[in-house]
């Protein structure tokens, strides 16, 4: 491809055709300040912070929208540019009420989470030339559960609107009126909480100021106070890359990882619900005495479990798909070895059969045909649903095959029932890059038909349970189990309709006190997703790291250590019997 030669501040750089001045300058390590620009959305040229001087241009030009041309000479740091940018900042500060001292995002130049304030410092604004109208009341919309909008902090950069349109394809946000009366609104100017907003929080993540504020992490610390940990979201099998923000051993906020396959995108479960208060923790082993669970020592609990399991007869095992591969492996070994039982499986999480080449999120974005067979990705694997919708809007053909209406139907070109599945054949053959998403529980003939589609087809299974695919890899799947005693590896699962089978003696290894621990005879502590290291396999078939971002409470050890200790205890028993 041709190279475009550009001079930036006297430095000769080689840019790609079609790049903007901003992109070319950034690649060459030249800083140009921006506010409305965000790498994940289309350039907009609204804030004028990135004004630069371009030779042969009468006026200063916005670098974020100006394409590079051969021989272009750009200056990003002249007195004229600095003066203009300062003036832009003065105007931005004069428009609404940007009183930093009571804004959650405010801080020193290193600590601030506000891009407007950081630029104010950078350009040495000690005061405002044009004081804002302090008496004017700007609305605050707090109708959403997890984050609110304070219009007084809004600079109308429209990052939120573009994120809602381009990243989530939800099209909730827009503006009303023009000029200084412009307001960001939801739908037809209804409260955000009553709008079509799905609370994925992408707008919150891209907001450069304190206009969108996360309720839970507001005033919980600035950039220097927070620790970032890149790990994997454990809310659903999509396994999005997240940036977990912690302070003082507390999870404060979850952001989407821009560099992961999900490209910064998360859903309400991953971004907000995981940070919400959870049920009471199990912090010590507990033994049921006279109907009540009472805390006991590890030794007493292990002795009780080993003693009962040895005499109980067949022992069944159930694991949550929230457990990591490492945990599931030790769990499996416990049953294969000391417990000598084949009655072991997942509490829930059925994997549909593999049909061919697997598709990742990146493949979904490249697809020109997406066929969804009986799945509900917009409800159950939301980020996949958003990406499907986005790709369909970008021009890919979307076909929904289902006997029931689904939430994706309005975005599809064709919807039909399973009996008409054969219609898909020709479409797939004609497509350049077809991707088929399919659910479990379908008749074997349907899977057979899908398997016989053109070999260029890529497949993505739709199922429940974050590590269901990881469990399947080591031979664990959803199944009924039978035994006189039951051992449950519950991890940090909060049961949602799944009851445990009855058994004469039940051990539950769980992070939280739930209806499962209520029926247990012995309860062992477990770590939460935020406390453990390990791996899970996601919907794309990729093995992803789970990285601890907080320390577990005192007395809570790794689940693998607990399981290994139990295995050893059982093994000793076996030996002593010989």
Partner 1 sequence: MSEKITVASDWMCGCAGCHMSLLDIDERIVPLVQHVTLTSTPITDLKHPSKDGVTVGILEGGVNNSSNEEVAKMFRERAKILIALGDCAVFGGVPTMRNTCGIQEALRRAYVESESTVNGQIPQHEDIAVMQDTRAVDQVVPVDIYLPGCPPSADAIWYVLTELLAGRMPELKGKYLDWH
Of 132-140, 213-221, 512-520, 544-552, the window that binds partner 1 (rule: CB under 8 A) is 132-140
Is 132 in contact with 97 (CB distance < 8 Å)?
yes
Binding mask 516-545 for partner 1 (x = CB under 8 A): ------------------------------
Q: How far is the CB of 153 from partner 1 (least distance, A)?
A: 14
Q: How far is the CB of 490 from partner 1 (least distance, A)?
A: 44
Q: How far is the CB of 121 from partner 1 (least distance, A)?
A: 5
The only residue of 56, 58, 136, 181 in contact with partner 1, by rule CB under 8 A: 136
* Residue 420 CA neighbour count, 13 Å, CB half: 12
Q: How far is the CB of 113 from partner 1 (least distance, A)?
A: 11
Nearer to partner 1 among residue 24 and residue 103 (C-beta): 103
Nearer to partner 1 among residue 99 and residue 337 (C-beta): 99
Nearer to partner 1 among residue 149 and residue 169 (C-beta): 149
Binding mask 84-123 for partner 1 (x = CB under 8 A): -------------x-xxxx---xxxx-xx----x--xx--
The only residue of 12, 56, 58, 127 in contact with partner 1, by rule CB under 8 A: 127
Q: Distances in Å between the alpha carbon of 59 and those of 18, 90, 385?
A: 21, 19, 44
Is 426 in contact with 399 (CB distance < 8 Å)?
no
- Phi, psi values for residue 68, rounded to 5°: -75, 145
Interface with partner 1 includes 575 (CB under 8 A)? no
DSSP for 274-290 reads GGS--SPB--S-EEEET
For the record, the structure tokens of 186 come out as 């939801």
Nearer to partner 1 among residue 131 and residue 497 (C-beta): 131
Nearer to partner 1 among residue 98 and residue 332 (C-beta): 98
Q: How far is the CB of 248 from partner 1 (least distance, A)?
A: 20
Contacts 24+ apart (CB under 8 A), 224-229: 224/107, 224/110, 224/111, 225/111, 226/252, 226/253, 227/549, 229/547, 229/548, 229/549
Is 438 in contact with 459 (CB distance < 8 Å)?
yes
- Phi, psi values for residue 22, rounded to 5°: -65, -45
Q: How far is the CB of 90 from partner 1 (least distance, A)?
A: 13
Nearer to partner 1 among residue 80 and residue 99 (C-beta): 99
Nearer to partner 1 among residue 79 and residue 131 (C-beta): 131
Q: How far is the CB of 185 from partner 1 (least distance, A)?
A: 21
Interface with partner 1 includes 128 (CB under 8 A)? yes
Q: How far is the CB of 25 from partner 1 (least distance, A)?
A: 23
The overall longest dimension of the chain from CA atoms, in Å, is 94
Ranges of H-type helices in 313-461: 325-336, 361-366, 377-380, 382-393, 423-430, 444-451
Q: How far is the CB of 186 from partner 1 (least distance, A)?
A: 23
Nearer to partner 1 among residue 111 and residue 227 (C-beta): 111
Q: How far is the CB of 399 from partner 1 (least distance, A)?
A: 53
Q: How far is the CB of 338 from partner 1 (least distance, A)?
A: 59
Nearer to partner 1 among residue 130 and residue 504 (C-beta): 130
Element of type H or E holding 13: strand 11-15
- CA 355 to chain CA centroid, Å, is 26
Q: How far is the CB of 52 from partner 1 (least distance, A)?
A: 22
The only residue of 2, 135, 422, 578 in contact with partner 1, by rule CB under 8 A: 135
Taking alpha carbons only, the member of 531, 532, 529, 494 closest to residue 513 is 494
The only residue of 124, 179, 291, 441 in contact with partner 1, by rule CB under 8 A: 124
Binding mask 474-513 for partner 1 (x = CB under 8 A): ----------------------------------------
Nearer to partner 1 among residue 97 and residue 346 (C-beta): 97
Partners of residue 293 on adjacent β-strands: 288
- Hey, is 252 helix, strand or coil? strand
Interface with partner 1 includes 126 (CB under 8 A)? yes
Nearer to partner 1 among residue 96 and residue 513 (C-beta): 96
Question: Binding residues for partner 1, how many (CB under 8 A)?
Answer: 23
DSSP for 425-490 reads HHHHHH-SSEEEEEESS--HHHHHHHHTS-TT-EEEEE-SSTTHHHHHHTT--B-----SEEEEEE
- Phi, psi values for residue 536, rounded to 5°: -135, 160
Show contacts with partner 1 in window 231-290 (CB under 8 A).
none
The only residue of 134, 419, 576, 577 in contact with partner 1, by rule CB under 8 A: 134
Interface with partner 1 includes 70 (CB under 8 A)? no
- Hey, is 390 helix, strand or coil? helix
* 472-509 core/surface letters (b: 16 or more CB in 10 A; e: else): bbeebebeebebebbbbbbbbbebeeeebeebebbbbb
Find where tokens 């907001």 sit. 207
Nearer to partner 1 among residue 101 and residue 422 (C-beta): 101
Nearer to partner 1 among residue 101 and residue 554 (C-beta): 101
Report the distance separating Cα 339 and Cα 351, nearest Å: 26
The torsion of the CA quartet 277, 278, 283, 287, rounded to 10 degrees, works out to 140
Interface with partner 1 includes 79 (CB under 8 A)? no
Report the distance separating Cα 108 and Cα 116, nearest Å: 12
Q: How far is the CB of 131 from partner 1 (least distance, A)?
A: 6
Q: How far is the CB of 135 from partner 1 (least distance, A)?
A: 4
Nearer to partner 1 among residue 107 and residue 461 (C-beta): 107
Q: How far is the CB of 111 from partner 1 (least distance, A)?
A: 7
Show contacts with partner 1 in window 553-572 (CB under 8 A).
none
CB-neighbour burial class of residue 364 (10 A; exposed 0-12, middle 13-18, buried 19+)? buried
* 163-188 core/surface letters (b: 16 or more CB in 10 A; e: else): bbbbbbbbebbbeeeeeeeeebbbee
What does the binding site for partner 1 look like in residue numbers (CB under 8 A)? 97, 99-102, 106-109, 111-112, 117, 120-121, 124, 126-128, 131, 134-137
């Amino acid at each position: 491809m041709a190279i475009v030669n550009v001079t930036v501040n006297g430095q000769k750089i080689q840019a790609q055709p079609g790049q903007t001045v901003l992109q070319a300058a950034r690649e060459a390590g030249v800083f140009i300040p921006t506010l409305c620009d965000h790498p994940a959305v289309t350039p907009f040229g609204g804030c004028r912070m990135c004004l630069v001087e371009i030779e042969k241009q009468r006026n200063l030009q916005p670098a974020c929208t100006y394409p590079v041309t051969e021989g272009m000479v750009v200056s990003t740091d002249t007195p004229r540019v600095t003066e203009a940018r300062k003036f832009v900042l003065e105007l931005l500060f004069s428009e609404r009420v940007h009183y930093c001292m009571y804004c959650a995002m405010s801080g020193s130049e290193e600590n601030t989470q506000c891009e407007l304030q950081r630029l104010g410092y950078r350009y040495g604004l000690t005061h405002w030339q044009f004081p804002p109208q302090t008496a004017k009341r700007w609305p605050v919309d707090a109708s959403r559960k997890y984050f609110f909008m304070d219009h007084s902090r809004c600079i109308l950069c429209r990052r939120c609107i573009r994120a809602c349109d381009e990243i989530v394809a939800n099209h909730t946000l827009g503006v009303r009126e023009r000029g200084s009366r412009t307001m960001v609104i939801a739908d037809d100017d209804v409260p955000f909480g009553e709008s079509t907003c799905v609370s994925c929080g992408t707008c919150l993540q891209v907001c450069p100021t304190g206009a969108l504020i996360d309720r839970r992490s507001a005033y919980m610390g600035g950039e220097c106070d927070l620790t970032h940990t890149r790990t994997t979201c454990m809310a659903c099998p999509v396994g999005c890359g997240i940036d977990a923000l912690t302070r003082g051993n507390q999870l404060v906020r979850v952001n989407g990882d821009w560099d992961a396959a999900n490209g910064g995108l998360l859903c309400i479960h991953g971004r907000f619900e995981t940070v919400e208060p959870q049920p009471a923790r199990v912090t010590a082993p507990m033994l049921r005495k006279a109907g009540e669970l009472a805390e006991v020592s590890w030794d007493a609990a292990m002795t009780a479990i080993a003693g009962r399991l040895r005499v109980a007869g067949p022992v069944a095992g159930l694991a949550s798909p929230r457990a990591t591969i490492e945990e599931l492996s030790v769990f499996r070994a416990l049953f294969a070895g000391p417990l000598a039982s084949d009655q072991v499986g997942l509490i829930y999480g059925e994997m549909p059969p593999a049909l061919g080449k697997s598709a990742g999120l990146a493949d979904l974005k490249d697809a020109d045909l997406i066929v969804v067979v009986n799945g509900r990705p917009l409800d159950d694997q939301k980020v996949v649903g958003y990406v499907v919708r986005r790709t369909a809007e970008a021009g890919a053909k979307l076909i929904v095959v289902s006997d029931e209406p689904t939430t994706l139907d309005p975005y599809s070109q064709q919807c039909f029932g399973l009996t008409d599945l054969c219609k898909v054949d020709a479409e797939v053959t004609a497509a350049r890059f077809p991707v088929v998403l399919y659910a479990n529980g379908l008749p074997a003939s349907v899977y057979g038909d899908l398997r016989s589609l053109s070999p260029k087809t890529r497949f993505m299974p739709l199922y429940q349970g974050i590590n269901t695919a990881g469990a399947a890899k080591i031979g664990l799947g959803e199944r009924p189990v039978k035994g006189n005693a039951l051992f449950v590896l519950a991890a940090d699962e909060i049961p949602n309709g799944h009851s445990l089978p009855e058994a004469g003696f039940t051990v539950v290894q769980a992070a939280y006190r739930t209806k499962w621990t209520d029926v247990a005879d012995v309860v062992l502590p477990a770590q939460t997703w935020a406390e453990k290291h390990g791996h899970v396999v996601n919907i794309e078939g990729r093995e992803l790291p789970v990285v601890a971002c907080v320390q577990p409470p005192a007395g809570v050890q790794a689940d693998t250590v607990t399981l290994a200790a139990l295995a050893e205890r059982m093994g000793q028993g076996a030996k002593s019997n010989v």
